[in-house]
Amino acid sequence: MKFRFKGRQNALAQAFLLSLTSSGAFAAPSSAPLEYASASELSAMMVSNELTSVALVQHFITRIADLDKQGPTLNAIIEMNSQALDIAAAMDEERAQGKIRGPLHGIPVLLKDNFNTADNMQTSAGSLAMVGQPAAQDAFTVKQLRDAGAILLGKANMSEWSGMRDLSLPLGWSGRGGQGKNPHVLSESTCGSSSGSAAAVAAGLAPLALGTETNGSISCPASANGVVGVKPTLGLFSRSGIVPITRLQDTPGTMTRTVRDAALLFNVMQGVDASDSATADAPTGVDYTALLSSEALQGKRIGYPVAYTGSHATVLNPSLEMLAAMATLEEQGATLVPLTVRLPDIDDYINGLMGAMKHELPEYLASRQGLPIDSLQALIDFNQANPVDDSFGQQTLEAINASALSRQESSTLLATISQNFKDAIDEQVREHNLDALFAEADGFSQFSAATAGYPAITLPSGMSDDATPTSVTFYGQQWSEPQLFAMAYSYEQASMELRHPGFKE
């Protein structure tokens, strides 16, 4: 839910988002060619019989044991899938028989711990109160991954209840998984709430991971951990079988190290789900790799904010990394358009989210059997009876339980705010004839895209003076993912700013 701000970023931006809410170094194990290979590269190795899925899964199991549970102890993984090697063997057998399901056949993927999986793994949203009988059915998107031949390697740690246990808790912490660490600098924040998914991909614990975003929970950890995070248009992916804040804002998304790998996941995860009405109008059958080209920025008009007006008015001072990214865009043939962006009012946004969660979380709990809790009040009582840390509270959960907003009042409030942000983005695109908008991690732009329910692709732009990654974000209008993927890919290929972590103290 919250963005991580560096000292050079504007204090007003920090206040804006907060309203929502011994020296040394560890050395990584000796580098092997598999850790940081893309899914595309790994798939090609399998096609040429240079690699089996069993060998790949075993490689990641060993690496997770070395880095996540020992050494720097990243705490990015909350649980491993005990069936992963068996599934990998089955995928190898299918391949030997000539049955190849697609480019994700035999490729490991991690899931944020709020995706239902009908196997031996828990789905707990990071909460000890949710440890019990596993889910009876896969989430819709999880079934899509299985059908595509992907191997569920395990569940990734996350900010407990997607940050909604208590907005003052450290980002990346959960009662079940502990405090996640940033693999670049272990003392720095992973951001949240899809913290483990981003940290794991950055650290080479898996090539692919899924996260979810309500507002900032993909873009912020992608930025903090230096990976590619893609939040789709609301409704492109199903939310069925995912622990909710609210379907009015929630969406699954992807964490990868390359833009192409994210596009491959999008090819698999699109589709209409009868249980999620928001998917009814979404485009289907799209090949999100089709437009990927190193020349995709040629002739594009891209707007970038230089100032914001409204209740949080501010003038932006671009970082050196942002200036370098802008220069790259221009070198690739794009025309940059400076924008003064209107920020709509966000009064009661968090209250709207809390009111919506009060009504939607109990519905999710009713779909699960064999858990210690069956209601919000039971969750609060469980946490009181089983404190993980006396200094860690649950004020936000208590506020959610006490919310007096009806479902309709919450829906109306959030829909109005969302429409205002849609209008603000559409206005810029129309007025300046833009193909996309572009910003660094200033908080405002990423928040705007999320609140509007519009797509955003966050990807690395370099490294700051404190050895943590910096990022930029391409965002645009509803269903503009194919064009955003193309522009992000062109920037990625020209800039080559992905940096592997050093696991520094």
Contact 109, 153 (CB under 8 A): yes
Sequence letter at residue 284? T
Three-state SS letters, 46-87: HHCCCCCHHHHHHHHHHHHHHHCCCCCCCCCEEEECCCHHHH
Eight-state DSSP code of residue 31 = P
300 catalytic residue (yes or no): no
Eight-state DSSP code of residue 185 = B
461 catalytic residue (yes or no): no
Q: Which of 2, 40, 53, 112 is catalytic?
A: 112
Measure the CA–CA gap between 460 and 52, rounded to whole angstroms: 30
Give 96's Cβ-side CA count (13 Å radius).
Answer: 10
Q: Which of 174, 217, 240, 418 is catalytic?
A: 217
Contact 111, 156 (CB under 8 A): yes
Measure the CA–CA gap between 340 and 337, rounded to whole angstroms: 10
Measure the CA–CA gap between 296 and 282, rounded to whole angstroms: 24
> Tokens standing for 200?
């794991």
Q: Mapping DSSP to helix (H, G, I), strand (E, B) and coil, where does residue 315 land?
A: strand
Residue in 142, 113, 118 with CA at minimum distance from that of residue 128: 113
Q: Which of 193, 240, 411, 445 is catalytic?
A: 193
Distances (CA, A) of 378 to 94, 116, 389, 408: 45, 21, 19, 24
Burial tier of 389 (Cβ tally within 10 Å: 0-12, 13-18, 19+): exposed
238 catalytic residue (yes or no): no
Contact 352, 417 (CB under 8 A): yes
Those residues whose C-beta lies under 8 Å from the C-beta of residue 416, and which sit 6 or more positions away, are none
Q: What angle do CA 142, 231, 277 make, to 5 degrees?
A: 60
Distances (CA, A) of 265 to 105, 118, 131, 314, 356: 12, 20, 29, 37, 29
Q: Any alpha helices (H) in 97-206, and if so which ranges? A: 140-147, 195-202
What length is written for the chain? 505
Q: Which residues are catalytic?
A: 112, 193, 217
